[in-house]
Amino acid sequence: MEEATHVAMMAEALRTRSLAARESIGRQWRPVIMPALALWLLATIVSCGFLHPFDVTEYATYAHAALRAPLFHRFPLEYPAPALAVFLLPLLLPFSYPWAFAVVAGIVLVFLVTSYEGSGVPGMDMEAARRLIVYLAVGAVILVTGRYDIFAVAAAFWSVRAARQDRWSAAWTWSCIGFVIKLFPAIFWPALLIAEWRRSGRLPVRRLAWMAVSAVVLVGVPALFNHEAVLNVLHYYQHRPTETGSLPAGLSLLIDWHGSTLVTSFHSINIVNAAAGPVGVVVELVAAVGCLGIWWAQFRGRLPLEAACLASLTVALLGSKVLSAQYVVWLMPLWALYRFRSEWLLAALANVVVFPYEVSSQSFGLIPTHAFDAGLTLAYLARDLLIAWGTWRWLRSELVDGASSPSPLAPSP
C-alpha cells in the first residue's frame, strides 16, 4: 500500500513538473526561444556556410582520432582531456560534423537562455535571458556554434544559479563539470566557498573533496589511457606566447611598437617583443591581487555571489596572456543579470573584428601586413579596456550600495 502511494506521489510530481515545463516554454516561446533559435540559425549559416572555423574541424579530428585503435589513446593538445566527451557527441547525429556540432551547441544554447526564467531568483528572469541573446548576437555570432565554449559557459552559469537557489551540491557539480572541460569555472570556487560558508555559518570543508575529485578526473582520464597526455593543456598554455587579444599584448605593443613582431603559432596570432614578458607578469600579479580583493569584499558581505563570480572571472581574463574572442562569451551570461551597460555592449561589438580578419585571410587569401595585425591588436586592446572600464564602474556601484544587483544571498546570522 505504501509502495503504491509512493508511486502515485512520484507520478503526480512528474505530471506537475511536466505541466510547469510546458507553461514555461509557452511563456518564453516568443520573447526568448524564437530569438535564440534565430541567433542559432544565423550563427550556424555563417559558421558552416561561410567561415568554416578551424576549431570545429579540429574537434572532429580529435573525436575520430580517439575512436581509432587503441581506443582513447589520443587526447587534445590544447584542451582538457575530458573535453573529448563534448567532441564525440556530434558523431551520434547522422550528418556532417560541423552541422551536427551546431545542433548540439544549439540545444545547449536553448537550455541556457531558458534557465533564467522560472529560477525563483530575483534578477534571473526573462529580461536577463533577452539581454544574453543581445550580447551573443552583437559580439559572438559564430562563436555559439563555432567553438565549444558554450558548453562550459552553460555549466558555469548553472552553477551560479544553483547556488543562488541554495542547491549547493548542484552548484558544485555544475562548476566541476565546467572545470574538467574548460578549466575557467574554477575561478568561481572561492566565491562558492565563501557564499556557502556565509549561508551555513561554517566552512564547507567537504567541498575541498569536490575540487580534488575534479583535479583527479582532469588528469586521471588521460592517465588511464596515455600517461604522456596527462598535462597536455598545461604545457600548451605554458609555452604559448602572448596572444594579440590579451591586455598584456596591447600594452606591450604600445610600449615597444617598433620592436614588436606578430607571429602565427598555437592556432592564434601572437605578439613577440621585449616588453611582453615583463608586462604579462605585472598584469598577472595585479589580477591576482584584484581577485583576492574581490573575495575579501564578498567575505565581508559587500558583494553577492554572482557579482563576485563576474568580477573575479573578468579580472582573471584581463590578467591572462590569452584572451581569445570566444573568452568574452564566458562573461555574457553574468553580464545579462544586470542592466545593459554601454561599455559591455561596445566591448561585445569590438569583439567581432576577428570575423572580417578570418574571412579576408582565409577566404580571400589576403596577406595581412604588420600594420593590419597591429591594428587588430589595438582593436582588441580597446575591447579589453572597455570591459575593464565597464566592470570597474559596475563594481563600484555594487560595492557602494548594491543597487544594480539581483538580491544577494542573505548572510548567516
Per-residue pLDDT, 405: 46
Reading the block at residue 375, the C-alpha cell is 591594428
Distances from the Cα of 36 to the Cα of 96, 340, 355, 402, angstroms: 23, 18, 21, 30
Residue located via cell numbers 560595492? 399
pLDDT at 357: 61
The CA distance from 71 to 206, in Å, is 35
Domains of the chain, residue spans: 21-400
Positions of the chain with pLDDT under 70: 1-23, 223-239, 354-371, 400-413
pLDDT of residue 324: 87
Could you tell me if 381 and 341 are in contact, meaning their C-beta atoms sit under 8 angstroms apart?
A: no
The whole-number pLDDT of residue 258 equals: 81
Residue 116: what are its φ and ψ, rounded to 5°? -75, -60
Distance, CA of 322 to CA of 311 (rounded, Å):
18
Amino acid 146 reads G
Predicted pLDDT of residue 276: 87
d(Cα 376, Cα 370) in Å, to the nearest integer? 10
How much is the pLDDT for 81?
A: 86
| pLDDT for 218 | 81
Q: For residue 403, what pLDDT is reported?
A: 43
Q: Residue 192: name the closest of 301, 47, 306 by CA.
A: 306
CA distance 386 to 25: 35
Q: Specify the pLDDT at position 227.
A: 61
